[in-house]
Structures are given as C-alpha cells and as structure tokens.
Amino acid sequence: MRSISALVLCTALTTPAMAETQLRAVTLSTAGVAMLDAEGQMGADGLRLTLRRADMDDFLKSLRLADPSGATPRLTMSGPGGLEDAFATLPFSPEALSDLSALIDAMQGAPARLTRRAATVEGRLMGTGATPCDDGRAGCIAVSLMDAEGQIVQLPLDDATTLVLDDPADRAALASGLDAIRTQGRASRVEVTIDSNDPTPRNVDLGWLQPAPVWKTAWRAVDGPEGLALTGWAVIENTTGQDWNDVSLTLATGAVRALDARLYDRVDAPREKAPQFAPMLAQSAVTRELAATPMVEAAPVQMTEGSSFSAYTLSEPVSLASGQMLSLPFLQEQAATERLTLYRGGSHAPHPMMALDVTNPLPLRLPAGVVTVYDAQRGHAGDAMMPELAPKDSALVEFAEDSAIRIREDLAEQARITEARIRDGVLIASERTERTTSYRAEGAEDGARVLTLLHPQRPGWDMQTEGGTSALDATRFTVDLPQGQITQFKVIETRTSRTQLALLDLSRDDLAYWEGRMPDAETRAFFADLRDLRQQQAALRTRIAETRSAEETLIADQDRLARLVDQLGDESDANFDRLARIDAIDAEIDSVRQERATLETQLRASEERMGALLR
C-alpha cells in the first residue's frame, strides 16, 4: 500500500524519468515542498530516473519505495564532484581537450602517429614548441616526436596535421574525458538507478519530496440573504519539468517544517575529527523507518482534516503542461455570516469599515487567501484578506470603507484618591484612575446603521461600560446610528493603583498637592497640620541660622576691637570707648545665644509634635 502525506508538496520527475514511471498523484502544500506519487516497473536492470540536480537533496531525504518483493533497494547515481572527479585520474585537464597543443604536452611519452600531408612519423610524443611558419612568419607551433630509431622529428602543428594515439589506454582516457565533459553539459540533471538483488519484473510504488512553489488561494465571496457563498479558487503552478496527465491533485495546508538537508553535496570532514556522514547502509534505521511509513491509496473523500492541517483532493484528475499555471475552484460552501459596519477603537480612522463576520461551517480548516466580495447592490464590494480558519472559528473580513459615516474618538483621564491612611510616617493611598474614550459618530444620510465597535482591551484596566461582549483582545459593543444624527458613545475603564510616600521627604508644595487630593476632611486636616508644622519648622530653622550668623558677626567685631586696643596700647579716650564696646558685645552675644536656645527649644517641640502627629 502507498500513502501520500497531506502535509507535504511534491514535484515530479523530468521527462526522461517518466519513460519508465507513471505519475499518479501530486500533493501540494503551503510548506513550499512537493510530494510525488508514481509507479514504475523494477526488473533486472532496475528502474532509472532522471532528476533535476536542484531536487536531489530532497529526493535523497525523502524517497519512499514500496516493493512487493520486500527486497533491499539500492540507489546509484553520479557523484556531485562531476568534472573534477572524472579528470582526477586522467593525464590531462579538461582545457586540454579543446587545445591540441596542450593535449600533446600533457601526453608526453605517449606512442603516437603524426601525419602531415604525405609525411607520416611514428614515435613517442615529446611536446610542442615555437617554430617559424612556412612563409617565414613567427608564431607557428611544431610537434616534437622521437621515433623508434631515436631520431627526434618535428612536424608543424596546423590544420594539415593529424594525430593518432597508438595506445588503446590513451584513447580510452581521451574518450573518458570527452564523456565527462558531455555529462558536465547536462549538469542540471542526475541519472538515478534504483535496483535490488531481486531481478523479478514487478511494479513498485515511489514517493518523494521536491521543492515547489506554494499554492495560493483566491476566495470569491457573494453576500446574499442566505449568508455568504464562499468559493475558493486554487492557483497552482507545474514546475516539475514534465506534463501532468490525469494526476490526482491534493491541496494541503499546514505549518509543516521542511528542512533543507544537504545530502547530495559533498562534505569534507577535518581529518582529526570523525566524519560528518557515515557510509549509507542499504537498510539503515532511517531507511527502515521510511519504508515502514504506510502507503495507502488516496481516500475517496475530497476533504481531510488533521490536528493542524487540511487537505482537499480534487474529484477530477488534473492535466497541466510543465511550466503552465492553473486556477480552478476547489471548494464551495455557504458560510454563516453577518454584515457589519465595523470600527476599531484606537485606530483614530475617520470612517468605519464594511466587514463580514465569517464563521467556518466546515469540520476542516479553510486556507488563508485574498477575498473578493460581491453583493447585489454594488457588484464588486471590495477585496480583503481572510486568515486561515479552524472549524467553527470566526474572522472579521474588512473589504471596504463606509465613507458615509464619520467617527472621532477623544480620550480623557481622571484620577482620584479613594482611600488614604498614615502608618509610621508613610502615606498609603489607593488611587482610582478613570479613562473615558468618547466616540462621536455622524450618522449616514442614506440610512440608519448599527455600528459594531471594537474597543481594545488594556491590561490592568477594568471595563465599566455595560453591554459589551469580551473577545480575545477587544470588547465588542453595538451602537445604533440614526440617519443623519450625531451619536455619542462613551467607554469607561478604571484602574486602581497603590501609592506609598514617605511624608518627611515631601516638600510643603508636595504636602499641599496631596492635601487637596485626600478623600476625607480628617485626612485633609492632618495634611494641613503637617504642612503648618513644616512651615513653622522652616521658619524656626531660618531664625536659628540668623542668630548663628549674628553671633559670628559679633564675635568677629569683638576680636577686631581687642586686637586694635592691644596694638595702640595707650589710654586715650578712643581706646576707652573701644573697651566699653567690647564689654557691650559680650552682653549682645549672650542675648543672641539665649534667643537661639529658645528657638531651638521651640523647634524640638515642633518636631516632637510632628512625630506624634505622624505616629
């Protein structure tokens, strides 16, 4: 039995491969790979395929073979080295095959026979060198050859000279090089032989992957009284290098992981490390696992649903020439739908959109694609993109702008303290922020509308406006828009946050700000007392600083006068006045100190009152 996974896409063999195989089914998926299901006859000579070189990695990664004999399969093909591998054991380079002089130089010592006009010389090639031309010009080339008698003979190398290699091994090497160059000219193709140790003629099933373009979906949506008539058209391309003749075509969706495994390209491992690729066994564990994959006939049903994919097998065979594109309907269904005038809050768009609320009625996924919407009034109503829909999932498909309605949205926020308490000098306040989004809609002059408003949900905010339906990322409201009238609709959301503030760190201006925000008279009175104490303490600290400054000034004047008296040292009236002033300053200093002590006592008392207040 054979199976085709609905998750993979396959391309086919090139034309020469199909001479011995018959393509039966192609499965296309959105993974960018293709899977081919074919059958061919295996016999004593095996089964020969010709593949594109670009497809070899996926072919070697994915080939599945269902052989009724159970024989171990073998794959043989030319290696990726190509030309350099072929010439690695030859005595000449590829370039020598297009330059006779270079070929003779590379074949030095080879037995050969040279003929020019009527002269024939046999011997061993010695090489080429410059020689004058027959007309005396420079630039001609002569071939040197040593004959059986040891004589060295030169013959000009020109259009009249014929060279024959006498050694069959040399002729075989020359033929091998020519074959290699011819093969290199067809380097875009690789011939693969599949055989086994069973020579009995029998039919075998083949399946493998190749890269392929992603198939695309274009939807036609006709909106009518019974709902939305959906018709899905598939756009596919045959890039397999061959014609499809009545193949069974399956279209599959799904997030398939398709790895690019470099299995055909040569990988040289560092000598000091283990090889990256061990020699492939005829029946490796991977081969056994692939061989164990069930291969079954395509199911008679047209649609298949998996946990993460859907497959649509067309009921009629498909014929498509290589390199051609095809678009054809593959699915038609009446989908449950509701026509909406839709506005997405937060977009600040001037107009709402016309949209269809589409629900997938099928027990399988609908592929994503562009949608062209038609209705009876407008004909072509617009285009949109429809996402992939799982069974029973819904999507809003926006296809046109309703320019008859104008919408403006405005945002306002208001915050207030709902609860406040003081603990150990810390204000603990609960703040409620109310966010109001106002939607102002000017109704259409051609008739009333029902506006579907999708207001975005914001983390941490609670919806206060009633009547909405919560969705994944938005709250859905319906708003009646009378003809030609202006409608205001407000959406209110709230958020509660908690604030902690060290009251001693607040300035008087900060205290005044928070006093005005307190929710009750008692707390406001507390902040007023606290602000008064802070103001009183600030005034006391200022006065204490002034007394210190005055004391320092008095002490400085007293020291200056005392130095002056000592310097003069006389009993003049001026000195007696200076001594009297020094004694008076002592009294003033004592007075300033007493005043400061009183102020400091008052400051300590105020701070104690504040401490008691905060506690």
pLDDT digits 0-9 by tens, 413-426:
998 888 888 888 88
The sign of the dihedral angle between the CA atoms of 344, 345, 346, 350 is positive
> Is the pLDDT at 19 greater than 60, yes or no?
no
* 529-564: pLDDT as tens digits: 888 888 888 889 999 999 999 889 989 988 888 888
Q: How many helices (H) and strands (E) does the chain have?
A: 8, 30
Q: Report which residue type is found at 359.
A: T
pLDDT at 345 over 90: yes
CA-to-CA separations, 483 to 123, 306, 339, 443, 449, in angstroms, rounded? 109, 48, 18, 5, 7
**Of 477, 427, 431, nearest in space to 456 by CA:** 477
- Strands 216-224, 47-52: pairing is unpaired
Report the mean per-residue pLDDT for the chain: 80
* Buried/exposed code over 364-394 (b: 16+ C-beta within 10 A; e: otherwise): bbbbbbebbbbbeeeeebbbbebebbeeeee
**Is the backbone of residue 392 left (phi > 0), alpha (psi -120 to 50) or beta?**
left
Tokens, residue 32 = 């960018």
Residue 286 pLDDT > 70 = no
32-46, 62-76, 376-390: which range is least confident on average? 376-390
The neighbour count for residue 181, using CB atoms within 10 Å, is 15
Each residue's pLDDT tens digit, 379-415: 777 888 888 888 888 888 888 889 899 999 999 999 8
In terms of phi and psi (left: phi > 0; alpha: psi -120 to 50; beta: otherwise), the region of 577 is alpha
Q: Which two tokens stand for residue 236?
A: 């596919």
Helix, strand, coil in percent for the chain, rounding step 5:
25, 40, 35
**Residue 257 — very low, low, confident or very high, per pLDDT cuts 50/70/90?**
low
Report the pLDDT value the prediction gives residue 186, as an integer from 0 to 100: 56
Q: 11-36 in b/e burial notation, b at 16+ Cβ within 10 A?
A: bbbbeebbebbebbbbbbbbbebbbb
Write the CA distances from 132 to 136, 202, 444, integer angstroms: 6, 68, 100
Q: What is the pLDDT of residues 349-367, one digit of tens each?
A: 999 998 888 888 888 888 8
Q: Higher model confidence: residue 6 or residue 328?
A: 328
Residue 303 has pLDDT above 70, yes or no: no
Q: Measure the CA–CA gap between 551 and 450, rounded to whole angstroms.
A: 83
**Helix or strand holding residue 143 (H, E):** strand 140-146
Residue 283: which pLDDT band, with cuts at 50, 70 and 90? very low
- In terms of pLDDT, which residue wins out, 25 or 188? 25
Read off the pLDDT band of 210 (50, 70, 90): confident
| Adjacency order of strands within the sheet including 426-442 | 406-423, 426-442, 486-502, 462-463
Q: Which of 451, 469, 471 is nearest to 409 (CA)?
A: 451
Q: Per-domain residue ranges for the chain?
A: 96-170, 406-504, 508-614
> Which amino acid, one-letter code, is at 462?
D
Q: Which of 282, 257, 305 is nearest to 72 (CA)?
A: 282
Q: 418-448 in b/e burial notation, b at 16+ Cβ within 10 A?
A: eebebeeeebebebeeebbbebebebbeeee
The pLDDT confidence band at residue 255, using thresholds 50, 70 and 90, is low
Q: Determine the average pLDDT of the residues in 430-442.
A: 93
The C-alpha atoms of residue 545 and residue 263 are separated, in whole angstroms, by 89
CB 29 within 8 A of CB 10: no
60/364 Cα distance (integer angstroms):
32
pLDDT score at 374: 80
Look at 350 and 225; give whichever has higher pLDDT. 350
Provide the CATH topology of domain 96-170: SH3 type barrels. (2.30.30)
Q: Taking residues 428-454, report their average pLDDT.
A: 92
pLDDT of 481? 94
Residue pointed to by tokens 């009297």:
580
Helix (H, G, I), strand (E, B) or coil at 607: helix
Contacts for 597-600: CB closer than 8 Å, 24+ residues apart: 599/540, 599/543, 599/544, 599/547, 600/544
Split at pLDDT 50, 70, 90, the class of 573 is confident
* Closest to 356 in 3D by CA, of 452, 481, 449, 480: 452
Mean pLDDT score, 236-259? 77
Instruction: Compute and round to an integer the Cα radius of gyration of the chain.
Output: 49
Do 467 and 439 touch, CB atoms closer than 8 A?
no
Angle between helices 521-568 and 508-517 (to 10 degrees): 170
Of 40, 27, 58, 43, nearest in space to 190 by CA: 58
Beta strand spans in 482-539 (E): 486-502
DSSP assignment of 319-387:
EE-TT-EEEEEEEEEEEEEEEEEEEETTS--SS-EEEEEEE--SSSPBPPEEEEEEETTTEEEEEEEE-
**Cα angle for residues 174, 180, 184 (degrees, 5° grid):** 145
